[in-house]
Structure 1
Amino acid sequence: MMMSAPATGLAMDPIMPHSQVTGGMVGTAYTVVDSSGELKDFQVDIVGNMDNGKGSQPMIMAKASGPVIEQTGGILQGMSGSPVYVDGYLIGAVAAGIKGMTPYTFFITPIDEMTPLWSMPDRKNKTKLSTINIKRAAEKREQEAKEKKKQQEERAKAGDKKVYGDELLDRARAAVKADKDKGKEKPAAAKAGEKAAEKTAEPAKVAVETVKKEVTKTEKASKAAKAKKAKKDKPVKTALKSEPKDVMYFSGFNQAGLDFLKRQLDPQDSYTFLPMGAPTSAEMGRTVYNASLVPGAAVGVAVAYGDFAVGATGTVTAVDGDNILAFGHPFLHRGNVNYFMTDATVVGTISGQSNGMKVANIGNIIGRIKQDRATGISGTLGEFPSVVPIKVNVRDNSLARNVNYGARIAYDEDFLPQLSGGIAYAALSKTSDNLSGSTAKVGFKIRTDAVEKGVVSRDNMFYNTADVGQIAMAELIQAVSTICQNTDKESDIIDVQVNITVDDGRKTASIVSAVPDKKKVKPGDTVKFTTTIKPYRKSQETLIIPYTVPEAQPAGTLNLDIRGGGLTPVTSLMLLQQAGVDVTTEAESKLTTAAKLQKLEKAGRNNEIVIAPGAVQVPASKTAILQAKRDAARKSREKVSNLDKLGKQPATPGETKFTTSYIIDNVIHSTLTVERD
């Protein structure tokens, strides 16, 4: 049977605390089960209060019945949050079924366990940059102009010839503009008009603030009275295992990307993952500023939105003004959060003994989810999360494809690294279709205030016989993770741009030889190494690589390594990180966030040939070392200009990097004899 909402969405429905709920009571629950969007009701028979011991969350056990339940086959995943009323009082939200038992028996999260979510501290969303929504600002100006015109017409019709504050302000602004256009000073009359307008507006402002204070006092007094009135009874203990009834939706991800994100977001495997539920193309990117919800309506929560979407849908439990409660159990159980709140469209229901579900699509962005706790989620309509836009361009040379992707990730430091890497990986995998035995060039730019220059950039080249995408995203995840783990402050990330080029086949090479044009050198000399490389299944190639001997190099033998730029195999690093092993050394842990990011930017690239002093050197005498340092300092003082270094990262003394078109996979050695004057 179709029913209207039990109460308006503007004021909180009266509640009944769980201590007053007893077995034998009969109630009604409301939810949406089809594409009509209409609320439908079903009967709820209360079995009794349940408790699992001290410190646990109390629950209410109940049974569902009626035509709607017969149609759906029981309580389904996606019905989470459906409000339950007894005698017109809201007692809680449909929250979970009982694993291994009939889908008609379920648990209710008491409403008095959910309402505290509204008063919990909100420390997220503090990095939001000051922005102006041009479309919304234009709509607001247009609406204000219409209202002003209507007021003027009404005043004229009533014969009111008074000059009001807003008209004085308009006249003053017009006078100022006219004077500026003529290059004259502002007339005294305009100044007087502005002062008069300010005096006229001031009493109204004071009156509004007074009303706000009185309303706040009344609300606090009402809440205190309700809390004082509530009583506590000893509920019956139970060992039954609850099973949350919710679905997480993914859109745009292929199976490999889905598997990766599932491991990150749902390690306990408590959600059903479905490759559907995305916003439609018409809804994509839309934000509704004046949305409204009622108890029983479908609602969505998302951590990513766009060409790639990650989220879930459930049901609204309660509405108080612009504040909502939903789900009756956690989404990801992350506490204070910063997620998108969306409206949702129910497609239909799928019956099943233990895995039936209500299928729904997330839709327009309508607000922000602030709390993700054991008893449910809470959020505010018309308030929006700070976001990190990510753009990914993938070019597959072998398939002649060039595709752009875009998404917005809610700024939550727990998810940004995984979602950034997951979205980039999914874009790569979808475009290339086959990543085994491929070579990928990955470059990214992250605009952030975590570094003084405002941008963190990096590019590298990767090859893997199984799946190049799995290792190609490691540095992107590392960079975003470093920013999110800033111990000094919460950093802003303005956006992330990723460019990926894929070539079918193996582009690796080995260094065969590196012969210097001279063996005896002096500090500061440039030596040309004739370097021969052997690309995979191609003819040898010869490269001329210049190397500059360090100014502070002591006299004696200088052992050099000529190697590929990848200092640490990315695959090994990823395996350690995914296994939960801390791969950070003590020295690295003391670095600032900016220093860590700079180190990543300067790290050798896999497609570079690096010539640098080896780890093993012939020990020099203390006298020789001191003399070398003095000579280097003297030559440094003699330099009169550093203009040639502007815009360049400082080079590491004694290290040369030479970019190639191949991933260099080995190391060879060479020696020079250093002589000092």
Structure 2
Amino acid sequence: MRRLIGFFIVIFLLSGSCANAIQVGDIGIAKTTIRGSEISTFNVEIIGIVNNPGLYPSYLIKVWGKAIDSTGGIAEGMSGSPVYIDGKLIGAISATFQNADPHIGLVTPIEAMRTLWNYEENSPTISKLEKPLIIDNKIYTAVSRVPMKESNVLVERPCVLYYEKGFSGRVLSLLKKEMPLVSDVSSETSHEWTAQPGASIAVQFARGSVELGAVGTLTEIDGNKILAFGHPATDAGNVDYFLSSAYTYYTIKSQVLPFKVASIISPVGKVVQDRTYGIAAYLGTLPPTTTIDVNVNSNGEHSFFVQLPESEDMLLKYASKVVLQCLDDSLLSQHGGSSTVDITLRLSDGTSIERKNMYSDPDDISYKSVLELDEMLYKLLTNPLKKVVPEYIGFKINMSNKIKSAQIDKINMENFVKKSRPIKFDVSLRPYREELYKEQISIDPSLPKGSYTMIVTGSNESSSQRTKASENASNKPKEEVVETFGELVKSITNKPKNNQLVVEIYSSHVSLDQEKPEPIFKKYIDLPWVINGIATKTFEVR
């Protein structure tokens, strides 16, 4: 019985403290920045209440006043603007609507935002209005977070502003597929900023040579604890992102989609929760970071320095994109060529990983050069054995416009080999737009009498040929299984390099159309080209 009474008390508090206290027709004010750091106020009227079953209700509002006259409505970047009725904070402006006047918006109740400090709730996709609402002679009965076919549903458009600085070309295009980015055109990097309700604030994902983040408004401050936005920035739950100050240069007036022109200034704390009802952050404590140090030698030396939050999701999403942007900035174009890359990873458990490789591509050497870093990070950050994140990523690259690749032509050797004697042969290679080259090779595999097959490949070609051949084979090759984290690290550092010629010998006739057994002999030979192709030779030891 006591539990039942407690249950009804919770339900009463959940609904009564919000919906019953706030009524349609209530009038109050909201705070935000329109230009500079000065806090502006404007008028707010509650015009509807959105029922979210089992969760906190939201409030539909209409805004007006001098500040709104200058913007044309609720602008992108106003997410988190605190709303007060009778001097009491009731919530934060979180969205406008794709199919309604930007003077109409949505408020996330402050009671819901405060739950970010202790638990998470998922909001429904569509929620019904307490009463039908008429806007511009149209009747609306519900609110949705995603586009709907029904004409009587208001479709939310979060009024946060996603900003970037330093990204361009294809990397910017990739980022715009993830978020509606606006470029930061400012050159200033410092402004006075005070932590107060209505101030511009940002969740920052990258800082340094390139920058990326979401700009909104601070809703509530309690000591060093901050609530903002009224909706998620990434919806990633428990996070460790930069909380950064921001500055509003001016707000673009529009009757369709007003937006702030703002700049992310510098970190002032860390975001710890990014969920349905907004973001929660602490002032004064910065998150752990991953430093990306890129050095490019191509028509001069170019250096880049970027910090990302030391989190798995941020590194998987953005680390390789940051490096690719640095390469594109150095070359100023996308073209073919070759490169040698030194990658250094220093992990949070003290492990250091060094990897050097060579790449060549006739179309896009920058993209080709970043692929292995992306693969390494994916292996480490998604491994099931141990949680580790890179604290430092070093990427040093020497680039050339010359394509340095060679195609294997054939193996030149005798059909019969004497037992207990070294096997001498040469491999013919055709370097890109160069004369035929023959690599003289001598090996001593100590083979007993019998028939054998030699297969010579490039290191990449060796694994890809096996994978391709096994697609039609009845017995699929087993995926590489590592039992310890140390083995995982070795699988990264000991992986054959692209400029290595791989010589393998098998104890019977082996076809490329079947799964190969383990070779009885293997040797790697370094060459000055990226090696492609494959050649085979059968021989007999007598």
TM-score norm. by structure 2 comes to 0.82
1:9 counterpart residue number:
none
Question: Conserved in 2, the CA contact under 8 Å of 1:64 and 1:74?
Answer: yes
Distance 2:507 2:330 in 1: 42
1:43 Cα deviation after fit:
0.3
Deviation string, structure 1 residues 239-267 (Cα, Å, up to 9, x no partner): 3211101121122222211223344xx2x
Shift in Å, 1:58? 2.7
Partner of 2:124: none
Encode CA deviations 1:61-100: one digit per residue, 9 max, x unaligned.
0001001000011100001000000001001001000112
Cα RMSD (Å) of the superposition? 3.1
SS of 1:380's equivalent in the other structure is strand
> What 5-or-longer segments of structure 1 have no aligned partner?
1-14, 122-232, 574-583, 620-624, 626-651
**1:117-516 superposed matches below 5 A:** 117-120=116-119, 235-236=130-131, 238=142, 239-263=153-177, 266=178, 271-276=179-184, 280=188, 293-396=195-298, 400-448=299-347, 454-516=351-413
SS of 2:460 mapped into structure 1:
coil
Aligned position for 1:670: 537
Match of 1:213 in 2: none
> Contact conserved, 1:31 with 1:82, CA < 8 A, in 2?
yes
Tell whether the 8 Å contact from 1:521 to 1:672 is kept in structure 2 after alignment: no
Count matched residues.
Answer: 485
For structure 1, which segment, 330-339 or 435-444, has the greater mean C-alpha deviation from structure 2 after superposition?
A: 435-444
Aligned twin of 1:605:
497
TM-score (norm 1): 0.66
The 1:292/1:118 distance shift into structure 2, 3 A limit, reads: farther
Alpha-carbon distance in structure 2 between the residues aligned to 1:19 and 1:558: 85
CA-CA distance at 1:536 after TM superposition? 1.4
| SS, match of residue 154 in structure 2 | coil
User: In 1, Cα distance between the equivalents of 2:507 and 2:262?
Assistant: 60
Contact 1:612 1:656 in 2 (8 A): yes
SS in 2 for 1:587: coil
Q: 2:439 maps to what in 1?
A: 543
State the shift of 1:589 in Å.
Answer: 5.3
The alignment partner of 2:479 has SS state of: helix
CA contact (8 A) 2:482 2:488 kept: no
SS of corresponding position for 1:417? helix
Distance (Å, rounded) in 2 between the aligned partners of 1:333 and 1:517: 65
- Paired residue for 1:58? 57
In the alignment, structure 1 residue 107 sits paired with structure 2 residue 106: yes
Q: Which has the higher contact order (CA 8 A, sep 6+)?
A: 1
What is the CA–CA distance in structure 1 between the aligned matches of 2:418 and 2:270, rounded to whole Å? 66
Change (3 A) 1:585 1:611: closer
Q: What are the Cα deviations for residues 208-231 of structure 1, in whole angstroms up to 9, with x where unaligned?
A: xxxxxxxxxxxxxxxxxxxxxxxx
Partner of 1:172: none
Residues 189, 265 of structure 2: 8 Å contact kept: no
Q: Does structure 2 retain, via aligned residues, the 8 Å contact 1:314–1:326? A: yes
Check conservation: 1:47, 1:61, Cα contact below 8 A. yes
Could you tell me whether the CA contact under 8 Å between 2:452 and 2:508 is conserved in 1? Answer: no
State yes or no: 1:533 paired with 2:429: yes
Contact in 1 for aligned 2:18/2:56 (Cα 8 Å): no
- Which has the larger share of helix? 1
CA contact (8 A) 1:29 1:41 kept: yes
Name the amino acid aligned to 1:68: A
| Aligned-residue offset at 1:593 | 4.0
Q: Superposed, which structure 2 residues align to 1:587-666 within 5 Å?
A: 587-588=479-480, 591-613=483-505, 617=509, 654-666=521-533
CA distance in 1, matches of 2:398, 2:94: 46
Offset of residue 507 of structure 1: 2.1
Partner of 2:18: 17
Q: What is the distance in 2 between the residues matched to 1:475 and 1:518?
A: 39
| Aligned amino acid, residue 483 of structure 1 | L
Cα 1:251/1:608, change in 2 over 3 Å: same
What is the alpha-carbon distance in structure 2 between the residues aligned to residue 569 and residue 249 of structure 1?
42
CA pair 498-56 structure 1, distance change in 2 beyond 3 A: same
Alpha-carbon distance between aligned partners in 2 of 1:363 and 1:521, rounded to the nearest angstrom: 74
Change (3 A) 1:472 1:261: farther
40-49 vs 477-486, greater mean Cα deviation: 477-486
Determine the structure 2 residue equivalent to 1:162: none
- Mapped contact 1:482–1:593 kept (Cα < 8 A): no
Q: In 2 relative to 1, CA 360–617 (structure 1 residues): closer, same or farther, beyond 3 Å?
A: same
Contact 1:558 1:613 in 2 (8 A): yes
> Quick one: structure 1 residues 592 and 253, their matched pair in 2 at CA, closer, same or farther if it must change by over 3 Å?
farther
Highest Rg: 1 or 2? 1
**Equivalent position SS for 1:463:** strand
SS in 1 for 2:353: strand
Identify the range of structure 1 (387-396 vs 85-94) with the bigger mean alpha-carbon deviation.
Answer: 387-396
Report the Cα distance in structure 2 between the residues aligned to 1:55 and 1:468, rounded to whole angstroms.
Answer: 54
Residue matched to 2:81? 82
Structure 1 equivalent of residue 97 of structure 2: 98
Q: Secondary structure at the match of 2:501?
A: strand
* Counterpart residue number, 2:451: 557
The share of aligned pairs that are identical, in percent, is 27
Distance in 1 (CA, whole Å) between partners of 2:342 and 2:35 is 45
1:49 aligns with 49
Q: Is the 8 A contact 1:547 1:655 kept in 2?
A: no
Change (3 A) 1:618 1:78: closer
